[in-house]
């Protein structure tokens, strides 16, 4: 028995028919779980995606971007100021972009966050993720996700000067060798 008054009939060409108990066709929908306009969205190529407002993105999508933002800024700073091999550059970079380091960076910067930035950070911190980093506690991992979420949100909203302001403060105040 189904919980709703509608029964699901066998799929028809990637879609499913939804009928009431008397067998009357009620709707024809996508059966891939992607919602009402999934077929239309699939017609667009990845090169022609719709423009999505950053406020509508999930915290984890924002963190996905924010992770890259922080990593690129750290890589750029290291390359511009140090003559190291790629392996040594990577070892230095990890001191800034690991979950544990991002947790400490966020704690350092949090007093500087605006009300909106703090709300975005908390939204990212509270987003559920299935996995936790090997070398970080759940608290550190959640906070690092929140920090990445904030950086992604700032970047996607075109607030690059704010991203650079926070990064400059981080770079001047953060000691990556402190435990």
Q: Which of 20, 53, 67, 116 is labelled catalytic?
A: 67
Residue 67 catalytic? yes
- Identify how many contiguous H helices and E strands the chain contains and give both numbers: 7, 3
Nearest to 34 by CA among 55, 20, 14, 8: 14
Pairwise CA distance, residues 91 & 85, whole Å: 10
- Helices 86-97 & 59-81, crossing angle to 10 degrees? 140
Catalytic residues: 67
């Amino acid at each position: 028995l189904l919980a709703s008054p509608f029964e699901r009939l066998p799929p028809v060409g990637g879609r499913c028919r939804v009928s009431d108990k008397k067998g009357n066709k009620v709707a024809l929908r996508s059966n891939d779980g992607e919602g009402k306009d999934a077929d239309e969205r699939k017609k667009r190529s990845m090169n022609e995606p719709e423009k999505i407002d950053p406020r509508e993105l999930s915290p984890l999508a924002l963190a996905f971007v924010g992770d890259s933002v922080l990593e690129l800024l750290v890589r750029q700073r290291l390359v511009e100021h140090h003559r190291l091999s790629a392996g040594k550059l990577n070892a230095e970079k990890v001191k800034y972009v690991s979950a544990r380091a991002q947790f400490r960076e966020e704690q350092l910067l949090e007093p500087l966050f605006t009300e909106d930035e703090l709300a975005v950070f908390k939204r990212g911190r509270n987003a559920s993720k299935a996995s936790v980093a090997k070398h970080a506690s759940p608290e550190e991992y959640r906070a690092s996700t929140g920090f990445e979420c904030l950086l992604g949100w700032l970047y996607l909203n075109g607030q690059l000067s704010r991203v650079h302001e926070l990064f400059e403060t981080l770079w001047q105040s953060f000691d990556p060798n402190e435990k």
